[in-house]
Structure 1
């Protein structure tokens, strides 16, 4: 299980949406502001959903933004890289105290008008950052009242930890919205204020005088606006089947590398990530694992914890950092989204795509779990003939015990609700259908169709 999360860390919302993408729907009107480009209609924007996903992934996408010192790269996997840098800047790493000068370039997306004016937005990205490089992701939006947010830092990220410490940034607010680790959140949704549109800005950094460059293959964000609720009705079962996903326990890592969120007891997110990464064939080399104590079992889980760790949050549960870690493996991409029901998960499982889900619950609310948690990630790998959920639950005493079967109605409710009562009887937030999806950089037609059906491209 992850360590306890404070309710203010992020406001979680439930996604209650249809199971398939509506066809023939007209795209939402584009935002128009003088001098600011607007993106074209996105097929992943579906007005029938309470979630809006937008991603920049094609050569045309990267050509469509405003570039200063960066350039689009064509090829089988188009991306953005540094060209002739726009300048240099000093960065003092708050976690090491080290100040260094970096050459940089920027890319700013066109304005994306949300089909679902949002109370929350979560950005995610996929990138390659060789030693001597790193990236920063920012979001700036326009509220439904016509005013603008500041530029918010959504993450400073590198796949390694030798140059900077990957980090979220605290204390970002304008009195209307706040960044909670990895999530933009409207401070008081009851006022009716929403985020109507946004743009994202990438800053790519490298050591001056070198030809090094980060390469960003995917940049996007998920906006959502879902009403709070304590209960969610169970969906009707539609699929029976199970994917063969590796099984790893976080519990066997208790006490290992406590500098990464107090050791394995809190490693549910990276452990779940590693299971699905290996399902897709992502393997670490002996050289990559050479830093791990050879007496530790499943050293790849230790590796995942280290390389998803957020030095500001002081944990391995930063959602976009986990998706970005998955995408460091060749041929994979990762996104953070919200789904609406187990029907959505059945659609993905049928196409061979497992999912990592976030949920919180009391011990008595999930039969057979044997524990309660204020925030926990597990991997959904299939469904029984009765429609119950088959999950690889890393909060298990051994790898052999990881596969669990949970009652459909219980599991669906604890995953999708937005409000719940904790052990003290206090109302706290639920996890609201949050999901990590890792899938091939070049999905099959069947996989592409399933992803589109849940609003992801």
Structure 2
């Protein structure tokens, strides 16, 4: 669970839209009707194959044709000195750069969320940057979306605060439009791979994905009727409560009280049989139960954000396990989520609500992650909710309509009546890379 109600990832856009709406209403008592949003205002673009990587411009990188094709350092093109934002230590790194093609977006976007799957051995890390193109042909600056490594011994994993150009801004893991009259029509990605000078190998990048969207501002969403009887199922996942870890390792966002995202990620990873090794967990106090949750929190912590809830970093953490594919996605209906559950894919979902808006939760939140593991015969949502008093109480059944609205809406009212924002269907999707059935389930929601 996140901090108390305040500025969220979509707050700036929401405020700008509200201001323009008020101005327009005052100037014109009969404003033109709003354009109807496309049937599915979400798309996902990805680079995973040799042909995909070959579309980009390589400066010192090469494409490796393997079972899982990937981008790697061929011959470094230069050296860079980086001062670590946490330790203040300056280190020299050699690097190579891959710049993707100018990708026309299937949906003119108000938001772009990147995710990547990479292997970063000790002494290596990578940088992910995005540059958007506006409809008038002008471009954003290159925005830093993350300096990332699976471990934290060489570099501090971090996003970057304060990036904006007057029309767009970076909100931790999301490139967001802040001017309501603006949309991005194309986007370009840049990956810089770093390693200790003279060492081998460097980072390996197997997947780069961009989830783009232009969701309508809405306080309620149309209900999706339950799937046909017999389709519903409940997946068997481990149950981990973040609250069990309250006070542990407060340097990672005040300890377990804020660890909903890593706890959810760990539940799904263990469903797929992926767990940290004894060596990974050696730093955790052996008196602590479920030490893998402490490990997941440390492995997803974002220095600039000051928390473990960076969506892109959680997907990257999941993909640091062998042969896992992980993406940050946006789903547009409960029907899409039901299709994934029917295929055996648990879904980590981001939602926000007041206490009275989700019966049985017992709390309110401006942003929280929980895992949907199934549906009852009546279509109610079965979730593993980390914000529970104990592991035994993690399994919850939530009313379908309440849960659906809390997850999919983009606008809501906080406890003081202030207009706030919602995640608009954000989800983490983790599946084994070689599982064809589950990959087809992802393809059904637009992710290849």
Distance in 2 between residues matched to 1:358 and 1:142, nearest whole Å: 28
Normalised by the length of structure 1, the TM-score is: 0.90
**Counterparts in 2 of 1:386 and 1:436: CA distance versus 1, 3 Å:** same
Distance in 2 between residues matched to 1:136 and 1:291, nearest whole Å: 27
Which is bigger in relative contact order (C-alpha 8 A, separation at least 6)?
A: 1
Unaligned regions of 5+ residues in structure 2, if any?
15-37
Q: Is the 8 A contact 1:354 1:379 kept in 2?
A: yes
Normalised by the length of structure 2, the TM-score is: 0.92
Q: Deviations 1:293-336 (Å, cap 9, x if unpaired)?
A: 01111000000000000011000000000000000111211100
Q: Which moved more, 1:88-97 or 1:363-372?
A: 88-97
Which residue does the alignment assign to 1:119?
Answer: 110
1:90 is the counterpart of 2:112:
no
Q: CA-atom RMSD, angstroms?
A: 1.4
Distance in 2 between residues matched to 1:450 and 1:435, nearest whole Å: 14
Aligned residues: 422
Q: Deviations 1:167-205 (Å, cap 9, x if unpaired)?
A: 00111111111001111111122x2x1000011000000
Which residue does the alignment assign to 2:126?
Answer: 135
Distance in 2 between residues matched to 1:441 and 1:149, nearest whole Å: 33
Q: Is the 8 A contact 1:127 1:324 kept in 2?
A: yes
Unaligned regions of 5+ residues in structure 1, if any?
15-46
Which residue does the alignment assign to 1:104?
Answer: 95
Which residue does the alignment assign to 1:197?
Answer: 186
Aligned equivalent of 2:324, options 332, 350, 357? 332
1:232 is the counterpart of 2:224:
no
1:387 CA drift (Å) = 0.1
Q: Where do residues 71-82 of structure 1 align in structure 2 (5 Å cutoff)?
A: 71-82=62-73
Q: Is the 8 A contact 2:431 2:439 kept in 1?
A: no
Q: Deviations 1:233-277 (Å, cap 9, x if unpaired)?
A: 221100311011111010100000000000000000000000000
Distance in 2 between residues matched to 1:322 and 1:211, nearest whole Å: 26
Distance in 2 between residues matched to 1:165 and 1:242, nearest whole Å: 38
What SS is found at the alignment partner of 1:410? helix
Distance in 2 between residues matched to 1:285 and 1:61, nearest whole Å: 33
1:147 is the counterpart of 2:156:
no
**Counterparts in 2 of 1:217 and 1:5: CA distance versus 1, 3 Å:** farther
What SS is found at the alignment partner of 1:364? helix
1:388 is the counterpart of 2:377:
no
Aligned equivalent of 2:270, options 278, 299, 324? 278
1:64 CA drift (Å) = 2.2
Which residue does the alignment assign to 2:48?
Answer: 57
Q: Is the 8 A contact 1:378 1:391 kept in 2?
A: yes
Q: Is the 8 A contact 1:273 1:356 kept in 2?
A: yes
1:218 is the counterpart of 2:218:
no
Distance in 1 between residues matched to 2:300 and 2:11, nearest whole Å: 22
1:4 is the counterpart of 2:39:
no
Q: Where do residues 278-357 of structure 1 align in structure 2 (5 Å cutoff)?
A: 278-357=270-349
Q: Is the 8 A contact 2:55 2:101 kept in 1?
A: yes
Q: Is the 8 A contact 2:12 2:178 kept in 1?
A: no
**Counterparts in 2 of 1:10 and 1:102: CA distance versus 1, 3 Å:** farther
Distance in 1 between residues matched to 2:364 and 2:241, nearest whole Å: 17
Which residue does the alignment assign to 2:61?
Answer: 70
Q: Deviations 1:320-375 (Å, cap 9, x if unpaired)?
A: 00000000111211100110111011110111110100001011100111111111
Q: Is the 8 A contact 2:252 2:301 kept in 1?
A: yes
Q: Is the 8 A contact 1:56 1:220 kept in 2?
A: yes
1:10 CA drift (Å) = 3.7
Q: Is the 8 A contact 2:82 2:90 kept in 1?
A: yes
Distance in 1 between residues matched to 2:402 and 2:329, nearest whole Å: 21
Aligned equivalent of 2:148, options 154, 157, 171? 157
Q: Is the 8 A contact 1:12 1:431 kept in 2?
A: no
Q: Deviations 1:105-152 (Å, cap 9, x if unpaired)?
A: 000111110110000001110100011000000011210122111111
What SS is found at the alignment partner of 1:242? coil
Distance in 1 between residues matched to 2:223 and 2:7, nearest whole Å: 25
Distance in 2 between residues matched to 1:127 and 1:109, nearest whole Å: 16
Distance in 1 between residues matched to 2:8 and 2:312, nearest whole Å: 18
